[in-house]
Amino acid sequence: EAGKVPERILSYESSMLNARTKRVELENDLYKALEEDQLFLQYQPQLNIQTGEINSMEALVRWNHPIKGWISPADFIPIAEESGLIIPFGRYVLETACKQTVELQKVINKPIKVAVNLSVGQLFQENFIDIIKEVIQETKIPPHQLELEITESMTMNTNYITPILKGLKEIGLTVAIDDFGTGYSSLSYLKDLPIDCLKIDRSFVQKISNKDDQEPLVDMIISMAQHLKLDVVAEGIETIEQLHYLNEKKCDFIQGYYISKPINIEDLSERFNEIEQF
Ligand code: C2E
Ligand code: CA
Ligand code: CA
Ligand code: CA
């Protein structure tokens, strides 16, 4: 039996190979997707609880694969990161979001802010600040109407991130920490970061089931934001109880299926007033 590879290992290897083949395939497809306009953006409005107005929205990328159908950004963004495609991909998202926001604003006749998700490779590319400046110039979006969402883990190396954030601040745009509460940021650590907004992760919001419940983590994040004079957005609101709770706790903005799912820009411009008065 010498030299014979056990069945167990063979099937392990073939499944690894399979996974790798699929990944390479998806990577090639993603490259094509960029060239062939298969990617587009949807927008999810954020409601200002105190005024009842929609002043901002988050851009979320979508991929309609010609054969496989819808692929979640959670599945293809890691591939874009590993393959380096994140650079042209990130630029496409930024440009499209800014361009469409400027267009939307003309239709709804009031200023609206757009929040764009950044990934690690994009934020840490050498000429990131120049790219942002170019996009602002090209699309003519007022810089204060562009917000960039980064995650807590991207801020961990403060020596590295602080000058980048300062550079962004000089241009006049704002920065939000996404999925806040899932990392380990402390109050003392946050106070030195030039950021503008905390987004409470959906997992905490979804624990609110009754307005009389207590959700200490949500309360703590809201009070941290208030101390630091940051805006606070709660994500993933699906019920009226969650809305009531967050209103009572004086959260600034809420975002979630209860207000609106992410929708195409045409639908948002058509239904803007309706969503605002939901
Ligand atoms: P995220 O930035 O935390 O975005 C929020 C996600 O929650 C979105 O999923 C959104 O559709 C979903 N969501 C919003 N409201 C609700 C709700 O009430 N209930 C539930 N169950 N879900 C809700 P999506 O669009 O699938 O995006 C997943 C993740 O992919 C995003 O999480 C973000 O990390 C990443 N992503 C999306 N678009 C981009 C992009 O353009 N660039 C980068 N770098 N990442 C992106
Ligand atoms: Ca986000
Ligand atoms: Ca989030
Ligand atoms: Ca998330």
How many Cβ atoms are within 10 Å of 8's Cβ, its own excluded? Answer: 8
C-alpha span between 251 and 264 (Å, rounded): 27
pLDDT (0 to 100) of residue 188:
78
pLDDT band at 1 (very low <50, low <70, confident <90, very high): low
**In the chain, % of residues over pLDDT 70:** 96
Average pLDDT of the segment spanning 142-171: 94
pLDDT (0 to 100) of residue 2:
59
149 C-alpha to ligand 2 centroid (Å):
6
Helices (H), 179-264: 187-190, 202-205, 216-227, 240-248
Q: Residue 235 CA: which ligand 1 atom is closest?
A: 15
| pLDDT reading at 95 higher than 90 | yes
Q: Residue 97 CA: which ligand 1 atom is closest?
A: 41
Q: Ligand 1 pocket test: which of 42, 60, 175 has the largest number of ligand atoms within 8 Å of its C-beta?
A: 60
pLDDT (0 to 100) of residue 10:
66
Does the beta carbon of 139 lie inside 6 Å of ligand 1?
no
159 C-alpha to ligand 2 centroid (Å):
24
Q: Residue 86 CA: which ligand 1 atom is closest?
A: 44
Does the beta carbon of 60 lie inside 6 Å of ligand 1?
yes
| pLDDT reading at 89 higher than 90 | yes
pLDDT band at 9 (very low <50, low <70, confident <90, very high): low
Average pLDDT of the segment spanning 195-223: 92
| pLDDT reading at 133 higher than 90 | yes
**pLDDT tens digits, one per residue of 177-186:** 999 988 877 7
ipTM of the complex in this document: 0.97
Average pLDDT of the segment spanning 246-266: 97
C-alpha span between 91 and 95 (Å, rounded): 6
Average pLDDT of the segment spanning 118-129: 94
Helix (H, G, I), strand (E, B) or coil at 22: helix
Average pLDDT of the segment spanning 191-204: 94
pLDDT (0 to 100) of residue 93:
97
Is this model's pTM higher than 0.80 or not?
yes
Average pLDDT of the segment spanning 21-47: 92
Is pLDDT larger for residue 238 or for residue 21? 238
Closest CA to 212 of 238, 248, 239: 248
Average pLDDT of the segment spanning 141-151: 97
Could you list the beta-strand ranges (E) of the chain: 39-48, 53-65, 69-71, 113-117, 146-151, 174-180, 197-200, 231-235, 253-255
Mean pLDDT of the chain: 92
pLDDT (0 to 100) of residue 44:
98
Of how many residues is the chain composed? 278
pLDDT band at 15 (very low <50, low <70, confident <90, very high): confident
Closest CA to 84 of 15, 14, 47, 34: 34
Amino acid at position 13, single letter: E
pLDDT (0 to 100) of residue 22:
81
pLDDT (0 to 100) of residue 123:
93
Contact 246, 224 (CB under 8 A): no
pLDDT (0 to 100) of residue 61:
97
Q: Specify the residue for token string 């497809």.
A: 29
**Phi, psi angle pair for 175, to nearest 5°:** -130, 135
The contacts of residue 48 (CB under 8 Å, 6+ apart) are: 54, 55, 252, 253
Contact 122, 87 (CB under 8 A): yes
Does the beta carbon of 73 lie inside 6 Å of ligand 1?
yes
For the CA atoms of 120, 123, 127, 130, the dihedral, rounded to the nearest 10 degrees, stands at: 150
**In the chain, % of residues over pLDDT 90:** 78
